[in-house]
Amino acid sequence: MFKTSLLQPRWKPFLATLLFLLYGYNGFAQSITVNGIVKSQGDQASIPGINILVKNSLTGTATDAQGKYTINVRPDAVLVFSGIGFLSQEVSVNNRSVLNVTLQEDTKQLSELVVVGYGTQKKSDLTGSVSSISEAQFKKTPVVSLDNGLRGRAAGVQVTSTSNQPGGATSIRIRGSNSVNTGSEPLYVIDGFPVFNDNSATAGGATVGPKLNALSLINPNDIVSIEILKDASAAAIYGARGANGVVLVTTKKGQEGKMKIDINAYYGVQKVSKTLPLLNATEYAQLVNDANGKAIYTPEQIASFGAGTNWQDEIFRKAPMQNYQVSASGGDAKTKYSVSLNYFNQDGIIVNSNFKRYSTRFNFEKQATSKLTLGSNLSVANTNANQALSSTGGGEGTQGVIVSALDFNPILSIRNADGTYVLESDRGIPIGNPVATALELTNKSVSTRFLGNVFATYKIINGLEFKTSFGADITTTGEKYYAPRTILAGSSAQGVGRVSTANGTSWLNENTLTYNKSFNKHAITALAGFSAQKYTRNLLTSSASGFVNDLLRADNLGSGAIISTPVTNLTDWSLLSYIGRINYGFNDKYLLTLTGRADGSSKFGNNNKYGFFPSGSVAWKLSEEEFIKNISQIDELKLRLSYGKIGNQEINSYQSLAGLSGASYIIGDKVVKGFAPGNIPNPNLKWETTTQTDLGLDLGLFRNRLNVTFDAYYKKTSDMLLNINVPWSTGFSTALQNIGSIENKGLELGIQAVVLNKDLKWNVNFNIAANKNKVLDLGSVSQILTGEINGYLKISDPVVIMPGQSLNSFYGYASDGIFQTGDNIANSAQKTAVAGDRKYKDINGDGVLDAKDRKFIGNAQPKFFGGFTNDFSYKGFDLSASFNYVYGNKILNSTRADLDLPTGQKNSSARVKDRWTPTNPSNSIPRASLNRAFLFSDAQIEDGSFLRLGSLSLGYNLPSSWTQKSGLSHAKLYVSAQNLFVITKYTGYDPETNQSGQSNILRGIDSDSYPNSRSFLVGVNLSF
């Protein structure tokens, strides 16, 4: 008996079993029977899903013999069985007179079903734009959280790290940013429960450091598939939360059969992938003398300094990471279960930073009666992290470890002679000792998350099913911050402590009715539903300073001399929804999908509580037409067209109401607490609405060895939620209103190819996307300024939002080199400059350098981006290499702006050795000077393009003859390297950074970010 699996979409539900029965030699006549039917086409016979290519010519034609077709072949003929994804197999006839081939349904692979909102569909029947990521693809790269696993996997999905800390957050944009002020992260639906990844809200806001990734509480090892809904047709079923795209996550379920136990484990070591070249102690001392114009350090001192302290080497380390997972699944015809336990531990490459996660998941399904099925999806996770403060500003607090390590005086040692820490740098700028900050500062976060639901489905009649579910997402976060007196951040206040707790609870009830009916050439699936969800979050923060000692740290705030006023906060919102969808197919050629959802949200004004979000899409399977069927190379050809409206409700609660803000007043000699109006009410406040048109094509060629997906789309967001300046006579400066519009338009291409399919197999997955963003209208506002980036240089308004420009456009001066000796500075626009100062272009030619000479100098959005993966296998070995790339984006390198300024008041980049002097007329680095005057210009803008080898993995699957002796059904050993190399011109730590978190506006800004790491892992997968 010979068995093989049909792996590609159309024939995934079958397992082909070839039974060869020898009845004796009968000359040249050989009988080939496949499910009772074999059709002859020249030298090729075929049935649905299986092609039989006869090597060596036929000696006759097919004849009908009692409903079975006989093909006469030579006795030395070789039959090649292949099909849509069928792994090509050659079978020699060898004088056998009868060869029976039987197709049997494979209950393990259910027809290449794709998860869509509130149901599943065959991939061939999709009318919307949906990208699927299988478990095998997703797990090629070990990741901490599921959003990191999307990097480079799907066309149009851009993943950017906002912090490379262990458990750090990411920001994802699906087909660009749709808004200025509202959240633009996608909606995640985990086993039917919607979760918005708002890291700032989840973290609680106690610490001054980066926020943990809310999705890091979800164990990625439990995931079996991910679907990304990108167009309006696919995402409209989620209405007011679908405008930014939807990521559907399905976790493992039990299968019928005996218990299967899987053990997965890996251990690895990480190290910083790149450090920045800085001045050593000798070079820094020379810079100090040049900047001061006198000998601060004598020649004898300079000669004695040598290399000094390399502060980057002192804070970076080789850090271990490990992951252990045990899972069990199984069941019978009526009961199925899956349970897993996971432990993950990652130390950060900065000393004293780490992340741990303990998690468990239990999925269960029980067929209680022939009509009633009960089930549950439950997970519990606990994370414990200590976050390093890596930068100054950019959402990562003050006295950051990275900025301190880059700026701190390399002449100084870590500790004084008495063993105490050297507190700060000695050149006049308050820079804390980076080693002391990393080791002594406490910045802990402990979170527990329960996420799950219970459900029941009832088959009312044949084809009509009712499902009800109730779920909850309960998150508790505790944060603890303490800056002791022994480091600069806590020295002046004699210790600073802060404790915060945040509790968030979201419950959800959904009820759906689904009807399926097929008759003649018609197929209808109809869905109607009702959903209710409510979210509540409580926050408590307390702080104190002035501690006698650091023994108790933040565990006893009452021991502080100064107790700050505690802060409490309560936030809630609710959503009431009505859902409807109809899928109609005619003759399996022409498909129609109509979707509508009405959402009522507590976040919006009384006059606009409800919004309706409809969509429609059609598809035409040209490959089912007779004029295409005759083209043997085409297996699938489908055109898709969709249009719809979807919404965005991701703003803070109570924005439409007249709020009150607390205030303090002095009456007589007493301070009296009171309230004052906090904002202008707006009863007309409503959702942002995004309309989207998508034109797509799906193509399968050469027995589906080559599959191509192409999409072109246009999105326009109207009624943007903007804070608009209002007359001071109102008593307020701004008000939130629905004003303005923005557009995104782009192209996406995805290619899957089976290049080799013999003993050596080679599969390629490639995707590329280009998105063009433009602000269309801001109402009566001509421009929106974005404020100051905190840091050593405090860059003001580096991004300006203006109609006609992309959302993330940098705005500053145009640099023009360095003033040289002999230049006519008196007649320039910078009349007070001297030789060696940076020169800027006088754009308007008025002879004065001022704000009118600023212009748009770059954009953080790439021209195109994507990823590609090469998978090889040969016998028991497999090799996988995954790349992702970005091209054409710009990065505001605030770190470089700091390090290239040779003031001598802090350390500088090694590039400063090429600073301007009368004998070294540099045209890139200005002269050494105590003057910290700085203008933001294109000199701080860099090309952020890169190509990254994100993952390289080599595995060996032990032969079954070995594993069976040990009681194993499967065993695999592998080694893997992550972030092995990056090809880029960017001079910072890593080009894939976004220091301003999930902000729509301040993207592509690098301000002393936590560096990326390179890791090497060894792992094992065992199955019993």
Question: Which pLDDT belongs to residue 964?
Answer: 81
Q: What does the pLDDT read at residue 157?
A: 94
Task: State the average pLDDT over residues 783-807.
Answer: 84
Residue 54 in domain:
yes
The CB density around residue 708, as the number of other CB atoms within 10 Å, is: 17
**Residue 66 carries which side chain, given as an amino acid letter?**
Q
Q: From 82, 105, 128, give the residue that closes a domain.
A: 105
CA–CA distance, 880 with 950 (Å, rounded to integer): 11
- Location of structure tokens 């490959």: 623
Exposed / middle / buried, residue 642 (Cβ in 10 Å: 0-12, 13-18, 19+): buried
Q: Which run of H or E residues covers position 232?
A: helix 232-235
In this structure, is residue 727 part of a structural domain? no
How many domains in the chain?
2
Residue 853 lies in a domain: yes
Summary mean pLDDT of the chain: 85
Region label for 807, one of left (φ > 0), alpha (ψ between -120 and 50) or beta (otherwise): alpha
Alpha-carbon distance 473 to 218, whole Å? 12
Indicate the residue among 942, 977, 1006 that finishes a domain. Answer: 942
Q: What is the pLDDT of residue 78?
A: 61
Would 14 be classed as within a structural domain? yes
Residue 16 lies in a domain: yes
d(CA 785, CA 782): 10
Which domain-ending residue is among 880, 910, 942?
942
Q: How far apart are CA 347 and CA 351, in angstroms?
A: 8
Is the confidence at residue 137, as pLDDT, over 90? no
The bridge status of strand 29-34 relative to strand 98-105 is: parallel
**Portion of the chain with pLDDT greater than 70, in percent:** 86
Alpha helices in 579-719 (DSSP H): 626-629
Dihedral angle over CA of 173, 179, 185, 188, nearest 10: -110
Torsion of CA 620, 623, 625, 627, to 10 degrees: 130
User: How far lies 529's CA from each of 238, 466, 512, 579, 646, in Å?
Assistant: 12, 9, 4, 5, 18
User: For residue 1008, what pLDDT is reported?
Assistant: 83
CA distance 1002 to 860: 9
Give 779's contacts (C-beta < 8 A, 6+ positions apart). Answer: 722, 724, 737, 739, 740
Q: How much is the pLDDT for 849?
A: 94
Q: Identify the burial level of 680 via C-beta atoms within 10 angstroms of its C-beta, where 0-12 means exposed, 13-18 middle and 19 or more buried.
A: middle
How does residue 93 score in pLDDT terms, banded at 50, 70 and 90? low
**How big is the chain, counted in residues?**
1024
- Indicate whether 61 belongs to any domain: yes
| Residue 1018 pLDDT greater than 80, yes or no | yes
Q: Is 851 inside any structural domain?
A: yes
Residue 246 is inside which H or E element, if any? Answer: strand 246-251
Say how far apart CA 327 and CA 211 lie, in whole Å.
30
pLDDT for 792 beyond 70: no
> Is pLDDT at 27 greater than 90 in this prediction?
no
Which domain range does residue 32 map to?
2-105
Summarised one tens digit per residue, pLDDT across range 665-682 is 788 888 788 888 888 888
Instruction: Specify the pLDDT at position 211.
Output: 58
Each residue's pLDDT tens digit, 807-847: 999 999 999 999 999 999 999 999 999 999 999 999 999 99
Higher per-residue pLDDT: 745 or 95: 745
Six-digit token string for 141? 């790269």
Do 223 and 135 form a contact (C-beta atoms < 8 A)? Answer: yes
Confidence band for 604, pLDDT divided at 50, 70 and 90: very high
Q: What is the pLDDT of residue 791?
A: 60
- Among the residue ranges 10-14, 346-350, 377-381, 542-546, the one predicted with the least confidence is 10-14
pLDDT of residue 181: 84
Domain-located, residue 129: no
pLDDT digits (tens, 9 = 90+) for 471-530: 999 999 999 999 999 998 899 899 999 999 999 999 999 999 999 999 989 999 999 999
pLDDT (tens digit, 9 = 90+) per residue, 407-435? 999 999 999 999 999 988 877 778 899 99
Look up residue 471 and give its DSSP letter. E
Beta-sheet pairing, 246-251 with 187-190: parallel
Rg (CA), the chain: 32
Backbone angles phi, psi at 869, to 5 degrees: -130, 135
* Residue 629: count of CB within 10 angstroms of its CB: 11
Lowest mean pLDDT among 85-99, 193-207, 632-646, 856-870: 85-99
Rounded to an integer, what distance in angstroms lies between the CA atom of residue 375 and that of residue 363? 8
Q: CA angle at residue 409 from 405 to 411, to 5 degrees?
A: 120
d(C-alpha 450, C-alpha 503), whole Å: 12
The pLDDT value given to residue 907: 94
Residue pair 431/401 in contact (Cβ under 8 Å)? The answer is no
